[in-house]
Chain A
Amino acid sequence: MVMDDKRAFARGFREILPLSMGAGIYGLAFGLLAAQAGLDDLEVGFMGTLVFAGASQIVAVERIVAGAGSLVAVVAGIALNLRLLLITASIRDVYAGRPFWQVVLGAHLTTDENWALMLAARARGEQAGYWYLVGAGINLILVWVVATVAGVSFASEIADPRALGMDFAFTAAFIAIARSLWAGRPDLVPWATSFLVVALLMLPGWVDASWAMIAGGVAGAVVAALGPGRHE
């Protein structure tokens, strides 16, 4: 790791802080749920480290609480994580030409939060690449594991994040990040397509929200690929 890499790592580690605080609150809530599902601190710690995908952990454990069985819990978690394939594919330049262990590390540490943060930094014209992403990812995984283990250990003393409005933290963050990615008119049709596809699939209750999200994201990208515009 040369000097520039260390600096990028530190910058990612620092700039993700507001988002990792949000993840921390969510981690406490997840620990609460995990306690209801009968998980202990060791299981929660391993799950956070090895899976490291908050929403899918919540859904899988929620299925266990609902008594749905192991297979359903795993499939529900996987369905929610399919978007990660699109997320890592969309930043292919970050992993390109790296040694295999770095690709493994970088891919495992890629989440919605540091992916979006890196894109926002790039949209501001800043340099942000592999080590920025990894620095932010290390911060996130530390906060996530500590918070989820704390949540399951002190389950009886934690307030509901929804009552505090904290569940809206990520929605607000992603609105800010979307605003910084907006590059003008050429984005209008793809973004509107993305929204409409999500709304059409989700509102009648035809498909689960995680499938609607994937379909919306892909539809927007396809429209952008077919149209003219700046993406050439």
Chain B
Amino acid sequence: MSDTWLVILLLAVATFAIRMCGALLGQRLPQQGSWARALKALPGSLIVALVSVSLLAGGPAEWVAGAIALVVATLTRNLVLTMAVGIGAIWLLRFYA
């Protein structure tokens, strides 16, 4: 077997195991108390972490475009519009700034 196929299969098996672990482990954790509170808060803080990583990996252009996207999201609550304005903003900022 070539190295490429080895990488594909190992990564596939590991990724599936990770996904299943979360799905099965999550159900075994208590439904009340601190574990439940942590799991409930996890999605929001993970998404914030995700956005933080991509903004911090960028520069001023990304920060300004991010702020513009946040304003659009707050005003319109519209996913498609926020994406469109965000992409337009970053394009203009990188082009002209």
A→B interface (CB under 8 Å): 18-19, 22, 37-39, 43, 46-47, 50-53, 56-57, 60, 64, 70, 73-74, 77-78, 81-92, 95-96, 103-104, 106-108, 110, 112, 115-116, 119-120, 164-166, 168-183, 187, 190-191, 193-195, 197-199, 202-203, 209-210, 212-226, 231-232
Known: A51-B12, A104-B20, A169-B83. A179 touches B74 (CB 8 A): yes
Let me know if B24 and A165 touch, CB within 8 A.
Answer: no
Known contacts A51-B8, A86-B22, A88-B26; decide if A169 and B86 are in contact (CB<8 Å). yes
| Bound Cα distance A86, B44 (Å) | 12
Report B-chain residues with C-beta under 8 Å of the C-beta of A213.
Answer: 46, 49-50, 52-53
Report the interface size for chain B: residues with CB under 8 A from the other chain. Answer: 69
Chain A residue at minimal CB-CB distance from B26: A92
B94 x A106 contact (CB < 8 A): no
Task: Decide if B45 touches A193 in the complex (CB within 8 Å).
Answer: yes
Against A, the Cβ 8 Å flags (1 = close, 0 = not) of B67-89 are 00110111001111011011110
Cα–Cα distance between A74 and B74 once the two chains are bound (Å): 39
How many whole Å from B62's CB to the nearest CB in chain A? 7
Instruction: Chain A residues near B16: list those with CB within 8 A.
Output: 50, 107-108
Q: List 27 A-B contacts (CB under 8 A).
A: A39-B4, A50-B16, A51-B15, A52-B15, A56-B11, A73-B11, A81-B14, A84-B22, A86-B46, A88-B22, A88-B26, A92-B22, A92-B23, A92-B27, A107-B22, A108-B19, A165-B91, A169-B83, A174-B47, A175-B51, A176-B72, A183-B44, A193-B45, A202-B53, A220-B42, A220-B48, A221-B39
